[in-house]
Amino acid sequence: MNNMVSQFSTSGFYKTPISKILIGAVASVSSALIVAGPVYKSHFIYSPESIFDKLQLWRLITCKLGFIDTRDLILSLMLIYYFRIFERRFGSAKYASYLLANAVLCTGLEVVSLAACQHFDVTLSYWTPGLHSVLLSLIVPFYLDVPHVSLQRGGVIGHIVTGKVITYIVALQLATGNRCSNILAGCGILSGLLYRANFFYIQSWLRIPNFVSRFCSNYLLPLVQSRPPEEGAVPMGATLEIQQQQRMEVLEQQMLLSQARQFSRQRNRAVRFARPSGPFQRRAFGNLLNPGRNRPRPPEVNGNADDVPATASPSNGNVDTAASSPSVSASPEKIQQLVDMGFNRGAVTQALRATDDDIAMATNLLLQE
């Protein structure tokens, strides 16, 4: 069990190549901009005049490649690291599609906000969006999908102070830097809600093409993939913040595992309740399931009827109904989806069968194993 937990541990960048590439690219570009000076920084910002008067739409793309403020850079890198949990849950391809779709949505919302500010004479000299809105769009699934796990036992504080508070504090710091940051935070949260509601079926058509995913998986992924964590206990972080993050991840794993076990117990209880146990119930179920049981039996040709084994008659009510019930089959599409996330095909098949072909519960079970 320890080997399984260490194999699928949430520490590091194991099975999160997109997050690893994103942190490296954003840190490199932003560090170069901070050192380069104001001459090059002007190409990574935009204003109402540059977008609506000069039509320099390329600034909408370059502004999201890096940050020109050290504070925003540090906070954004922390959020990328915290949100890598979604890449493990969704898979790298789906996570990249999520970032692409929200980048497009956030850009459109930023242009609308920029026009509204110009119309209502809101003074904003220039905008430095960076990845503010795209990262803050992940707050929506983080709030709705990641369970709340208390870091303290009992009391009101134990229910309020959870492992998610650290991420919320970092996101709040990024969203409240200035007036521009407030607007970008609103655009990001609105973008996350629109994507979750599948606005204009955006989840279906605005995604990474399959051939691009296959190319990156075959040629680029081996260059950036991280090794699995070594066996044994993971050392605690040097700072209190890292220790709290590690504790949150461990408690989240325990909570997901307990949910899977509870689901399995409920399913076993349902099967035991539906299975006939006593002789009266077996006769009743046998008569209901096999109407031909009440028909008169033909006379025996050779020997006594007691010599015939009970299992030889298909109408015997003592036959276990569970043995004749078909086993749950796993969907090939769901198997392939989980295999693409990096899980073993045999373990995926067993997990889907154990959870009645529920891909969400099977994913949680595989993450814990």
| Domain architecture of the chain: domains with CATH | 13-226 (1.20.1540.10), 327-369 (1.10.8.10)
Q: How far is CA 365 from CA 4, 25, 299, 331, in A?
A: 11, 33, 55, 17
Q: Within 13 Å, how many C-alpha atoms sit on residue 361's CB side? A: 16
Q: Who wins on pLDDT, 243 or 4? A: 243
- Residue 184's nearest CA partner among 64, 101, 98, 99 is 64
Q: 21 in helix, strand or coil?
A: helix
- Residue 187's nearest CA partner among 64, 101, 102, 66 is 102
In terms of average pLDDT, the best of 88-97, 224-233, 278-287, 352-361 is 88-97
Q: Mean pLDDT of all residues in the chain? A: 75
Segment among 133-142, 188-197, 348-357 with least mean pLDDT: 348-357
* 171-222 confidence digits (pLDDT tens): 999 998 888 889 999 999 999 999 999 999 999 999 999 899 889 888 888 8
DSSP string over 240-292: HHHHHHHHHHHHHHHHHHHHHHHHHHHHHHHHHHHS--SHHHHHHHHHHH-GG
99 pLDDT more than 90: yes
Q: 236 in helix, strand or coil?
A: coil
User: Which residue shows structure tokens 């700072």?
Assistant: 239
Query: How many CB atoms within 10 Å of residue 287?
Result: 14
Query: How many CB atoms within 10 Å of residue 244?
Result: 17
Rounded distance between C-alpha atoms, residue 91 and residue 15, angstroms? 8
Model-level pTM greater than 0.75? no
For residues 238, 244, 248, 251, the Cα torsion angle rounded to the nearest 10 degrees is 80
Tokens representing residue 148 in the block: 């709340």
Rounded distance between C-alpha atoms, residue 173 and residue 169, angstroms? 6
For the chain, first and last CA: distance in Å? 7
**316 φ, ψ to 5°?**
-70, 125
Task: Measure the CA angle with vertex 174, ends 77 and 49; round to 5°.
Answer: 105
136 pLDDT more than 80: yes
State which amino acid sits at residue 289: L
* Percent of the chain clearing pLDDT 90 (strictly above): 28
* 20-77 confidence digits (pLDDT tens): 999 999 999 999 988 877 778 888 888 888 898 899 999 999 999 989 889 999 999 9
